[in-house]
Amino acid sequence: MRLRGSAPAMTRPLRALAALLLLLAAVAVADDGATLLEIKKSFRNGGNVLQDWSGEGASPSYCSWRGVLCDNVTFAVAALNLSGLNLEGEISPAIGSLKHVISIDLKSNGLSGQIPDEIGDCSLLETLDLSSNNLEGDIPFSISKLKHLENLILKNNQLVGVIPSTLSQLPNLKILDLAQNKLSGEIPNLIYWNEVLQYLGLRSNNLEGSLSPDMCQLTGLWYFDVKNNSLMGTIPETIGNCTSFQVLSLQGNKFSGPIPSVIGLMQALAVLDLSFNELSGPIPSILGNLTYTEKLYLQGNRLTGSIPPELGNMSTLHYLNLANNNLGGPIPDNINSCINLISLNAYGNKLNGSIPRSFHKLESLTYLNLSSNHLSGALPIEVARMRNLDTVDLSRNMITGSIPSAIGRLEHLLRLNLSKNDLVGHIPAEFGNLRSIMEIDLSSNNLRGLIPQEVGMLQNLVLLKIENNSITGDVSPLTNCFSLNILNVSYNSLAGIVPTDNNFSRFFTQQLLAKPWTLWLLDWFSFVLSFIIQSSAQKEILHLKGCILGIGVGGLVILLVILVAACWPHSSPVLKDASVSKPDNLAAASSNVPPKLVILHMNMALYVYDDIMRMTENLSEKYIIGYGASSTVYRCDLKNCKPVAIKKLYAHYPQSLKEFETELETVGSIKHRNLVSLQWYSLSPAGNLLFYDYMENGSLWDVLHVASSKKKKLDWGARLKIALGAAQSLAYLHHECSPRIIHRDVKSKNILLDKDYEAHLADFGIAKSLCVSKTHTSTYVMGTIAYIDPEYARTSRLNEKSDVYSYGIVLLELLTGKKPVDDECNLHHLVLSKAAENTVMEMVDPDITDTCKDLGEVMKVFQLALLCSKRQPSDRPTMHEVARVLDSLVCPDPPSKQTQPQGSQQSATALSYISEYVSLQGGIALSCANSSSASDAELFMKFGEVISNTE
């Protein structure tokens, strides 16, 4: 009896304890909601971006707020992901009150101020990513309290001060990325004793001191990057013990002394970058043992000796750069064993001997630069067997003989530079087979003969330099090279009339006619002599005196010409387009360097211009995915990356290149989830290329109007989501950018859809920033017929309401599935007439009526579209108001909750520079606000007032 009765007696305290714990958990949960609202207060634009963060923060409603993920049981905030929302303001100290948060991701915003010390109170935190903001001040020492922290990512901010040595007290830290800040001082020695650290990114700071001999205590480290700092001293010999390193980048420092031979023992290295330092001595032959290394960069040092033949043992080597050193001797034949080599650059050394004939075994080679050396002998015909070459630069050597006609077989060749050698013979007619070629430089040789007619067939040729040769004939074969922007044929023996048609009217005539001063001297004496003979025959003393005077003046002129010719620099002028001056970043077109990619969003430039050309086969037609009014769009599938869309602009040079570049930089800095990101750009005479995110489902126009593109029928929910995404992107451009931006060409073709059919606004090609004035007067109207604001077309005065009108037409397309103009029928006018007859619902797309449960929502969007397209701009709503109305209609399913956020996993091998972090994807659901809220109700009431007076 006693035993039976004791069980209930024992369970009562346990039940009480459980109830107490649940009560404490409920209190903690309630505090999390209030904490989030407090965090929101520190964001200057939080009211717009975090509209659903409202109310009193009662549990568990905040778990459905944007970017918030809660624990499945306790409803405590487990993850906060507000990345890429363009948030401004500061990080609130209240963030330290999120006691159960495991992941905080605020990257890619515009946050400023300091990292609050209270961040150290988030005791369970495993991932902290504050990268790509404008944060200032020191790294808080309180971070060392986060004993569970695995990933600390603070790169691309404005942080100053030293790296806290207390970071070594984080026992689980795997990723430490402090790159692209303004940190100073030395690398703390204690950092090197963290046994679990795998990734150390410190590039582009102001770090000083030297590398510690203890650096190889990091037994688990695979990524070590300190490039672009001010580190100095020698590379420690103990570095050979860093056998786990896969990426070692010491580029752009002041390291001196020899390259330690023990680096050859680091068998796991995939990337070894020692470029742009002050290293001296020979290249250790033991580096040939690095059989897994793909990239070896040693350029920009003071290395001497010869190229070790042992480098030929690096069987997986893709990129070898030895440029700008003092290397001598011949190029070893063994290099041909690097059968995977893609790029070989030995520019600016003292290499001698001939070009190895065995180079033809390098079948994967696309880039060969041996310029500015002392190479001699003939250009081997075997070079023509390297079929993948797109760049060959052998300029500024002592190469003799003729140009092999077999060069014409290099069908992928983009750039050929053989200038400043001792080549003889003719320009091969087989050059006409180089259909992809963009640049040919044969200047300063001893070439003779005519310009081959076949050269006129090169439709992609942008640059042709054949000055300082002995070319004869005329320039008529070049009249059909319509892409030609830079031409220099001066200092030859050309004759005939300079063409004035086609593109030749743009070139400087005096440079086309330039020839050696000795020929001008002969012409002058010939003229004077004929004048004397004529005067003597007529026995006119007066004329004879004038002739003698002319001879005297002519002699003085000749003397001046001789002096100028002797003193003037011998590099001949470059013939180029007379209408523009080429900016610095276009100098690549006439130099030894291929056009440069300007990277706007990627962490590191993994790809160069030549890589893109190779992957797209020089922008072959088979990669075309669309055409625009000003461009052709190609798809490029990058290795280990998402594909990109390449937009090649038809116009080579805008009116103001500097202004165009500034606009590209502005566009590239804009980050919003519903805007297509400009990732890279390249401006050069070879063509202006813009690189964007690739959108899998094409444009809204394709989905609505092109039968072959209807991959799926757009139901009502999908159309509402697309309308909201486009509205939010325009609201951001109009109201949150500084200076504000007007798109000018809003249309369904510029609304692209990703794999989830989420809208992304594209094409800022004619967008302009408005700095001060409320409106802007254009000299001509830009946009697309049927979408152009009639008031803008009438007055040429532009403001944000012009975009609102165009957006209204897009809404009508979404509602009806019809084109804005079809068979001379104007959609806007048709909808207006149907609205007057109260039969507008007859125009609704059947795919909507089949899927929409409440046609009242469709009517509201019709009203909104007509309000946006009102004739008077003042009657139109702002895009903020439009987005708010649409937001009230979009009611997605609540996001799924997870017990615990998924942490990032480290890849077993990392053979590239790109650092990828698998970050927690928080719930970013569109809010489902009550459509009867006061502001929305007022806006809908306004519909009836305005629509009833519609023209």
Residue ranges at the known binding site: 648
Q: Fill in the amino acid letter for 514.
A: A
Nearest CA to 343 among 408, 389, 279? 389
> Is omega for the bond preceding 892 within 30 degrees of 0, making it cis?
no
Cβ density class 175-199: b for 16+ within 10 Å, e for less: bbbbbbbebeeebbebbbebeebbb
Contacting residues for 263 by C-beta, under 8 A, at least 6 apart: 235, 239, 240, 269, 272, 284, 286, 287, 290
Tokens 């909750």 -> residue: 897
Which of helix, strand or coil describes residue 627? strand
**C-alpha–C-alpha distance, residues 224 and 443, integer Å:** 44
Helices (H) and strands (E) counted in the chain, each on its own, are 16, 48
Which of helix, strand or coil describes residue 932? coil
Please give the full DSSP string across 198-265, using - where no structure is assigned: -EEE--SSEE-S---GGGGG-TT--EEE--SS--EEEPPGGGGG-TT-SEEE--SSEEEEPPPGGGGG
State whether the Cα torsion 608-614-616-617 is positive or negative.
Answer: positive
DSSP H helices, 42-133, are: 46-49
Beta-carbon count within 10 A of 698 CB: 16
Name beta bridge partners: 273: 249, 297
Q: Is 745 a catalytic residue?
A: yes
Name beta bridge partners: 844: none
Nearest CA to 648 among 675, 681, 615? 681
Residues at the annotated binding site for ATP? 648
425 and 402 Cβ atoms separated by less than 8 Å: yes
DSSP letter (8 states) at residue 515: -
Which of helix, strand or coil describes residue 111? strand
Nearest CA to 600 among 661, 674, 654? 661
Chain-centroid distance, C-alpha 427: 38
Q: Which of 393, 611, 745, 845 is catalytic?
A: 745
Which secondary-structure segment (H or E) carries 520? helix 517-538
Chain-centroid distance, C-alpha 162: 31
Beta-carbon count within 10 A of 101 CB: 27
Name beta bridge partners: 399: 377
Chain-centroid distance, C-alpha 813: 32
Show the CA angle centred on residue 209, arms to residues 205 and 213, nearest 5°: 115
Q: Fill in the amino acid letter for 401.
A: G
Dihedral, CA atoms, 647, 651, 656, 659, nearest 10 degrees? -10
Beta-carbon count within 10 A of 76 CB: 20
**C-alpha–C-alpha distance, residues 224 and 243, integer Å:** 12
74 and 100 Cβ atoms separated by less than 8 Å: yes
190 and 163 Cβ atoms separated by less than 8 Å: no
**C-alpha–C-alpha distance, residues 759 and 672, integer Å:** 11
State whether the Cα torsion 890-894-900-906 is positive or negative.
Answer: negative
Q: Fill in the amino acid letter for 821.
A: V
**C-alpha–C-alpha distance, residues 748 and 783, integer Å:** 12
Tell me which residues are annotated as active site: 745
